[in-house]
Structure 1
C-alpha cells in the first residue's frame, strides 16, 4: 500500500509544483525555496538537531512554548522547524526572530522516499516532533529505518478524520504504530488515536493555552479600538470560504433593525482570500476599510460611515481580539470543523461559535459549559446573540471574565509534554 501511495505521489508531483506556482500569485512565499520541497538544502553548520514539524501558522504558534522549552532544556542543540505552508514559515520568522542561529527553518519535502532521505541525510535529526495531526507514511517509515524516534504532540484527531484514516488502514496503521510517543490534547482525542492503532497515548492538554499574547498586539488593539470611538465592535475571526457571504447577508439584514451602529471586523483565515472578501463587501455596497490601509502606530478616527474593517494582515489576530467587544470564531458556520477559541479567551472576550466544531469539540464544549462561549446555529443567530450580549454589559463582562479564567485553568500542557519527551532528550 505504501508503494502504491509513493507511486501516486510521484505522478502527482508536477501538479503539486504547479499548485505552488499558482498559489504564489497571491502569496509569494510559495515561489520561494522550491528546492527544499524536493529535498535540496543549502549547506549549514552540522550540530545535534531536534526537528519540530509544524505545517502551517496555527501549528507554528502552538509549537512556540514547546520550542522555547526545548531551547532552554537543550542548549547544545539546534532546533530545526519545518513547515508546509508559506504562512507557517512567515509566522515562525516572526515568533522566533529573537532566537538566532540555534533555530533554523525549512520547508519539509513532499512525502516521497528519495526526498525524505535527502532531508534526513542533510540534517541528521536525533528526534522528530510532529505537531497536532501530521502522520506521513514515508516520512515515518524512513525515520524508523534510521532509528530516529518520532513523536506526535498536541495531537488531535476528530471522529471524521479517524473514519477517513480507517478507510486507509493498510497505509496509516503501520505509520501510526511506528510513532514512539503521542501526547494528545484531550481524552476523546487519545481514545480516537488509540482506536487508530497508537498504543497508550498520553493526555497533556493543548499547548496553545501556554502561548502568551504579545504585549505589542494588546497595544495595537487598544490603538485600533480608539479609532472606532464609542461604537460597539463585533469580530468574525478566521472566517472560511462560504462563511463571509452568510455573515455579510445577515449583517445587512440585522443592522438596520438596531438603534446602534456596530462595526464589524472580518479576518479571513487565509491571506489569498483577502481580495475575494473585499469583492464581496463591494457587491453588497458595504463601505469598508482594509487594515493594510491604516497606519500601524497612529490610526486616525474611522468615520461612522465605515461599517466593516477587513483584517487583511497576518500575525495580528491578538490585536483584532483586543479591539473587539465580542468574537465569533469562524470555520464553524459551514462544515469545516471550526477553529480553536483559545486566543479569544486569552484576551478575555465573550466567544460565539457555530455548530460545526468537530475539530475542537472538547475544548468548545468545555468553554460553553464554563460560560465563556455560546453556540449559534447560523449567521442571523450570530448577530442576534451578539446584539443581545452587547445590550447587557454585565453579562458581556461575565462571559469575558469566564473566558479568561477558562484560558488560565487549562495552562500547563507544555510542561506535561516536556515530561513525556524527556527520555528522548
Structure 2
C-alpha cells in the first residue's frame, strides 16, 4: 500500500518491486563483495569518498550500493555508473532480508548514517556478516525515540562491531543506548569530504553569464510550508532589488508541480527548468525540477538558503553551497545537522533566521554587501578544508575492526 501511495506521487515507486522484497538475482561470481547502504541522495553523495577509498584498498572486491529511494538510485547511477552494483535494499521483513543476503553474500556491510533496521542488523549478526554504521548521527530527539524501545536498540547496537560517529555528542548518545564504548569511535563527518566536479562549476558560470548582473537568491531542498514563506520573503526583497531572480529547488520530485503552481498563483513569472526555455530578464522565479543539478544552481546564486529549516523538518546539509563559497542562511529548525550548523554560525559562515521577514532582511543585507558575502564564503570553505579526513579515519577503522578479521 505504501508503494502504491508513493507511486501516485512519484511514478518510479511503481518500478522494481521485486527488489523491495528481496527477490534479487543471486550472484554467481566468487568475487568478494562489499556492501554499502545509502538510503537516498544525500547519503549517496556522502559515501562517494568512502567508495573510492574502498575501491583503492580492496581492488579485488566488488562494491554493491543499496538505496531506498528512486532519487537515491538515480544518484548512484549518475555518480558511479557501472563501476558498482546497485539494487534497492528490501524492506525490513525477515524473509526479504534473508533473500537479499543469500543472493548478494556480502563479506561485510557499511550502513550510512542511522538506518537501524532490527531484522537486517540481527540477521547479519546471525550470519556473521559484520556491519559498520558510518557517518553515524543520533540527535537528542531520535535518541529519545529509541529509548522507548531501549532493549531492542541495545541488542542491535551491541551486535555491531563498529559505529563511526560524526561527533562526540553522537558517540555519547549511542553509548547511552547500549553500544559498547570500545566499538564507538568519532571520525568526523564524511560530508565534509565534498568535492564538486569542475563541470558543475563551469556550467554554473556559463548559466550565470546568460543572466547578466541581476541578483540571484536560491532556496534549496525546500519542504511543504516553506515555499510560501520564501515567496513572501522574495516579495520584500524585490522591493529593494526589482530584478531579483528567485530559484526554488524542492526537496522531493513529487512536489515539483505543486511548487511551480504555487509560484504562478503568487503572481510570479515562473519558468520550470524542464521547459528548456531561456531564463530571460522577465522570469522572476525559476523552479529547478530536475535531478542532479543542485550544485550547479548553488553556483549561480549570490545567496543560498538551505531548506527544511523554516519548518520543523530538521534542516539539510549546508556544506554544498559552502563548498562553492556561497553565504548560507538557515532557519531555526536544524536539529538533524546541529553540530555542523552551529559551527558554521559560530564562524560567521552561516546566518540563522527565525522567519520569512528575517530571511528577507538578511538576503537584502547580503545583496548590498558583496564584501560580507565573500567573507562568509571564505569562512565556509575554510571550515570544510579544516574538517576533512573522516573517510580515511573510517577506512582505517574498517581495516582494523572488520576486513582484517575477515581475511
Structure 1, gaps ≥5 residues long: 1-17
Quote the Cα distance in structure 2 between the aligned partners of 1:269 and 1:341.
Answer: 14
Note the C-alpha offset of 1:198.
Answer: 1.5
Q: Does 1:119 align with 2:103?
A: no
1:330 alignment partner in structure 2: 307
Note the C-alpha offset of 1:90.
Answer: 0.6
1:66–1:414: 8 Å Cα contact kept in structure 2?
Answer: yes
**For 2:221, which of 238, 247, 260 is the aligned residue?**
238
Quote the Cα distance in structure 2 between the aligned partners of 1:71 and 1:222.
Answer: 33
2:146–2:177: 8 Å Cα contact kept in structure 1?
Answer: yes
1:255–1:261: 8 Å Cα contact kept in structure 2?
Answer: no
Which secondary structure state, in structure 2, belongs to the residue aligned with residue 165 of structure 1?
Answer: helix
2:195 alignment partner in structure 1: 212
1:312 alignment partner in structure 2: 289
Matches within 5 A, 1:76-155: 76-97=60-81, 99-100=82-83, 103-155=84-136
Note the C-alpha offset of 1:389.
Answer: 1.0
Note the C-alpha offset of 1:193.
Answer: 1.5
**Superimposed CA distance per residue, residues 353-391 of structure 1 (whole angstroms, 9 cap, x where no aligned partner):** 111111111100111111111111111211210110110
Note the C-alpha offset of 1:24.
Answer: 2.6
Q: Does 1:59 align with 2:59?
A: no
Matches within 5 A, 1:366-377: 366-377=343-354
Quote the Cα distance in structure 2 between the aligned partners of 1:106 and 1:257.
Answer: 49
Matches within 5 A, 1:318-397: 318-397=295-374
Number of matched residues?
399
Provide the TM-score with structure 2 as the length reference. Answer: 0.95
Instruction: Sort the Cα spacing of 1:119 and 1:256 in 2 relative to 1 into closer, same or farther, 3 A.
Output: closer
Instruction: Sort the Cα spacing of 1:232 and 1:75 in 2 relative to 1 into closer, same or farther, 3 A.
Output: same
Q: Does 1:202 align with 2:185?
A: yes
2:35–2:64: 8 Å Cα contact kept in structure 1?
Answer: yes
Instruction: Sort the Cα spacing of 1:393 and 1:256 in 2 relative to 1 into closer, same or farther, 3 A.
Output: closer
2:237–2:364: 8 Å Cα contact kept in structure 1?
Answer: no
1:53–1:82: 8 Å Cα contact kept in structure 2?
Answer: yes
Quote the Cα distance in structure 2 between the aligned partners of 1:44 and 1:199.
Answer: 34
Provide the TM-score with structure 1 as the length reference. Answer: 0.91
Which shifted more, 36-45 or 131-140? 36-45
Which secondary structure state, in structure 2, belongs to the residue aligned with residue 238 of structure 1?
Answer: strand
Matches within 5 A, 1:177-326: 177-200=158-181, 201-252=184-235, 254-294=236-276, 300=278, 302-326=279-303
**Superimposed CA distance per residue, residues 200-236 of structure 1 (whole angstroms, 9 cap, x where no aligned partner):** 2111111111121011111111122122211011110
Indicate the RMSD between aligned Cα atoms, in angstroms. 1.3
Quote the Cα distance in structure 2 between the aligned partners of 1:368 and 1:318.
Answer: 21
Note the C-alpha offset of 1:256.
Answer: 4.6
Q: Does 1:72 align with 2:60?
A: no
Quote the Cα distance in structure 2 between the aligned partners of 1:134 and 1:255.
Answer: 40
2:131–2:161: 8 Å Cα contact kept in structure 1?
Answer: yes
Quote the Cα distance in structure 2 between the aligned partners of 1:29 and 1:149.
Answer: 32
Quote the Cα distance in structure 2 between the aligned partners of 1:383 and 1:224.
Answer: 25
Note the C-alpha offset of 1:19.
Answer: 2.3
Quote the Cα distance in structure 2 between the aligned partners of 1:331 and 1:257.
Answer: 26
Quote the Cα distance in structure 2 between the aligned partners of 1:141 and 1:323.
Answer: 46
Note the C-alpha offset of 1:26.
Answer: 4.3
2:22 alignment partner in structure 1: 39
Which secondary structure state, in structure 2, belongs to the residue aligned with residue 24 of structure 1?
Answer: helix
Matches within 5 A, 1:139-178: 139-178=120-159
2:396 alignment partner in structure 1: 419
